[in-house]
Amino acid sequence: MENGDSNEDYDSSLPVEKWCGDEQLYQWKGFWFRLQYLLGTRQVLDKFKPLPSDVILASFPKTGTTWLKALLYSIINRSSGACLRSNHPHMLVPTLEVQLYGAQQQSFSTFDSTSSSSRILATHLPHQLLADAVKPADCRMVYVTRNPKDTLTSFWQFVLKSRSYEEPWPLEMAVEKFCNGVVPFGPYYDHVLGYWKESLERPEKVFFITYEELKDDTKTHIRRLAEFLGCPFNGDGGEEEILDEIVISCSFEKLSSHEVNRSIEHSPWMRLPMSSFFRKGEVGDHRNYLNNEMVERIDTITVQKFHESGLMYGVN
């Protein structure tokens, strides 16, 4: 447990599994949580009252959350990047269970009640848990996902680089945990399927996009996102220029070059270096780490979970 985590409110009957180092995960309503985020999650579900104009960015960790935070902020505010130069994307778009309702609550100037633009809020909560809380507001949601092997690789690297544990955390163990669903906010597959099914039922309210699609043609998907959000780019010269600037200002290369995002100072909300959210930003990096046996094992699960549900995604 990290400093500041609390055992208060913790229901000792919850299933517990070792995750990495001395950290445990707690299973609640079918999903696994680090204790501090379980407490934040319960607060969100008890207290969060979204507005119809809110935009909620949902994601499983390490699937492109930081990128989407920058993109959504830029699209909605028609910002050409000035704000991103001095603010970490996580400071512009807070995560509900971490920054707004978590142990280290922060106030956000971007939530000025006089502002006319939508609030953009992020969450790693699965749709299965969040659905009842967002239903009354019927607000828009954007869900980003990423292929499971790259997600796992990014997660493993993130944990290795951002925390120091006495025990090593070998890749074999990370794969084992991921395949068993024992990973914060996991199982990954249930998380993705929850939002995917919702996006099929309510495409006007839930926008489902993959990291790989965005990488492949960022501009087209920014245009689609803007349409979904009700603020389309109207095609005149000025708007077109802003669109091009957003592609560049939110690119991995640009964002990761800003001092605020390179800083090794700890973020106030997660006690991790601000730089932890930027590593390589590539598609297919798992090929540099996972062996054939690991790839086969994950692909088999992906076929069972995704393909057999009709989501033809995640094996390549």
Instruction: Please pick, from the candidates 41, 63, 74, 249, the single residue that binds ligand A3P as defined by CB under 6 A.
Output: 63
Smallest distance, ligand A3P to C-beta of residue 60, A: 8
- 289 near ligand A3P, rule: CB under 6 A: no
Smallest distance, ligand A3P to C-beta of residue 13, A: 31
- 37 near ligand A3P, rule: CB under 6 A: no
Cβ proximity to ligand A3P: between 23 and 137 the closer is 23
CB atoms within 10 A of CB 117: 14
Give the range of 22-30, 56-64, 129-137, 164-172 binding ligand A3P by CB under 6 A: 56-64
Using CB atoms within 10 Å of the CB of residue 107, give its burial: 0 to 12 exposed, 13 to 18 middle, 19+ buried: exposed
3-state secondary structure of 17: strand
Contact 69, 122 (CB under 8 A): yes
Q: Whole-angstrom Cα distance, residue 111 to residue 306?
A: 37
Give the range of 63-71, 103-111, 166-174, 297-305 binding ligand A3P by CB under 6 A: 63-71
- 314 near ligand A3P, rule: CB under 6 A: no
- 64 near ligand A3P, rule: CB under 6 A: yes
DSSP string, 32-75: EE-HHHHHHHHHHHHH----TT-EEEEE-TTSSHHHHHHHHHHH
Smallest distance, ligand A3P to C-beta of residue 51, A: 24
The partner residues of 144 in beta bridges, in order of sequence, read 59, 209
Residue 237 Ramachandran class (φ > 0 left, ψ -120 to 50 alpha, else beta): alpha
Q: Whole-angstrom Cα distance, residue 212 to residue 109?
A: 32
DSSP string, 84-147: HHHS-HHHHS-BIIIIISSSS----GGG-TT--SPPEEEE---HHHHHHHHTTTT-EEEEEE--
Smallest distance, ligand A3P to C-beta of residue 88, A: 11
Among residues 29, 21, 26, the alpha carbon closest in space to that of 9 is found at 26
Smallest distance, ligand A3P to C-beta of residue 144, A: 8
Chain residues 65-94 in contact with ligand A3P, contact rule CB under 6 A: 65-67
3-state secondary structure of 10: coil
Chain residues 236-265 in contact with ligand A3P, contact rule CB under 6 A: 250-252, 255
Considering the candidates 88, 124, 191, 286, report the single residue annotated as catalytic: 124
Cβ proximity to ligand A3P: between 57 and 201 the closer is 57
Please indicate whether residue 124 is annotated as part of the active site.
yes
Give the range of 22-30, 45-53, 231-239, 272-280 binding ligand A3P by CB under 6 A: 272-280
Chain residues 149-168 in contact with ligand A3P, contact rule CB under 6 A: 150, 154, 157
Cβ proximity to ligand A3P: between 118 and 249 the closer is 249
Instruction: Please pick, from the candidates 281, 295, 307, 315, the single residue that binds ligand A3P as defined by CB under 6 A.
Output: 281
Residue 305 Ramachandran class (φ > 0 left, ψ -120 to 50 alpha, else beta): alpha
3-state secondary structure of 80: coil
Contact 73, 120 (CB under 8 A): yes
Cβ proximity to ligand A3P: between 199 and 218 the closer is 218
- 277 near ligand A3P, rule: CB under 6 A: yes
Cβ proximity to ligand A3P: between 270 and 301 the closer is 270
Catalytic positions, written as ranges? 124
Contact residues toward ligand A3P (CB under 6 A) are 59, 61-67, 150, 154, 157, 250-252, 255, 277-281, 285
